[in-house]
């Protein structure tokens, strides 16, 4: 069925994100090298993020608190205030980092909005995501911007109801199979996966069945030709 609306993810679909988190994680691991090796530090951080997800949600602030908690744990509470302050400064740098729109994205979005209404559906810290949307220069292209705390079928169902769109009329495009594709397909919509070079551990789908019929593309500019192809 011809879609009536397209949804786009933000982080690592329209602009770079995970690259900056990976860089900061490496710096944190080096900072804690007196107490634990690099691999163990990263594993402890991922465990803390997973443990804190329900309480802290997504984004830089949750990441920073999990880094601080990791530092306290691996050092058996010996970590000093200077080290904690360094982690806080890195978090501020992440919050203030200029938005890096992925090459070709603006042209691709312009091509989509010339054919369909396009909404942005992105999750994370409200303030940070708002600043990313503004800094991307893409905000005026979207029919709607939805910054959510979680991407699950209930969230997508609510958003589609707001726009008067049935799930079968909706296509969601993003880099995360877990957040951008599977929940929409479960609702009866269509998902298009555009993998990023880096995937956050908590977004990986090991052990989760990927629905049949999901399209996987290399870049956002391939979406419009795919949806307009006779096979669709």
pLDDT digits (tens, 9 = 90+) for 139-149: 999 999 999 99
Q: State residue 44's pLDDT score.
A: 95
Q: Residue 57 — left, alpha, or beta (φ > 0 → left; ψ -120 to 50 → alpha)? A: left
Q: Which CATH architecture has domain 5-16+100-228?
A: 3-Layer(aba) Sandwich (3.40)
Can you tell me whether residue 6 is helix, strand or coil? strand
Domain ranges of the chain: 5-16+100-228, 18-96
pTM for the structure as a whole: 0.90
Q: State residue 231's pLDDT score.
A: 56
Q: State residue 196's pLDDT score.
A: 86
> Which of these, 172, 128, 180, lies nearest to 5 by C-alpha position?
172
Q: State residue 11's pLDDT score.
A: 94
Residue 220 is given by DSSP the state G
Give average pLDDT by consecutive 10-residue segment, the chain, 232 residues: 92 94 95 94 94 90 96 96 96 95 97 97 93 96 95 96 96 93 93 85 65 84 88 51
**Residue written as token pair 């999750």:** 123
For helices 38-56 and 18-31, what crossing angle results, to 10°?
120
Q: State residue 75's pLDDT score.
A: 96
> Which of these, 206, 211, 161, lies nearest to 191 by C-alpha position?
211
Give the pair of three-digit tokens for residue 149.
């705390």
CATH code for the part of the protein at 18-96: 1.10.150.240
**Using alpha carbons only, what angle is made at residue 62 by residues 45 and 41, rounded to the nearest 5 degrees?**
10
For helices 60-74 and 18-31, what crossing angle results, to 10°?
20
Q: State residue 232's pLDDT score.
A: 46
Cβ proximity of 6 and 112 under 8 Å: yes
pLDDT in tens, 160-194: 999 999 999 999 999 998 899 999 999 999 999 99
Distance set, CA 169 to CA 50, 69, 221 (Å): 33, 44, 20
Q: State residue 209's pLDDT score.
A: 61
Give the pair of three-digit tokens for residue 223.
């979406």
């Amino acid at each position: 069925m011809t879609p009536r609306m397209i949804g786009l993810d933000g982080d690592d679909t329209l602009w770079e994100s995970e690259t900056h988190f990976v860089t900061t994680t490496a710096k944190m691991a080096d900072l804690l090298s007196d107490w634990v090796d690099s691999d163990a530090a990263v594993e402890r951080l991922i465990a803390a993020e997973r443990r804190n997800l329900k309480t802290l949600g997504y984004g830089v602030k949750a990441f920073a608190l999990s880094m601080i908690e990791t530092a306290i744990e691996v050092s058996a509470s010996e970590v000093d205030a200077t080290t904690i302050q360094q982690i806080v400064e890195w978090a501020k740098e992440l919050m203030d980092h200029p938005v890096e729109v992925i090459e070709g994205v603006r042209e691709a979005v312009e091509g989509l909005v010339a054919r369909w209404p396009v909404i942005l559906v992105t999750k994370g810290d409200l303030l940070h995501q708002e600043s990313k949307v503004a800094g991307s220069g893409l905000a005026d292209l979207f029919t709607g911007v939805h910054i959510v705390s979680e991407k699950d079928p209930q969230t997508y169902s609510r958003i589609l109801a707001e726009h008067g769109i049935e799930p079968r009329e909706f296509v969601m495009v993003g880099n995360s199979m877990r957040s951008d594709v599977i929940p929409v397909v479960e609702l009866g919509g269509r998902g298009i996966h555009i993998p990023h070079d880096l995937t956050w551990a908590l977004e990986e789908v090991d052990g989760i069945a990927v629905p049949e019929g999901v399209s996987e593309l290399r870049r956002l500019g391939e979406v419009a030709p795919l949806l307009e192809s006779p096979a669709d």
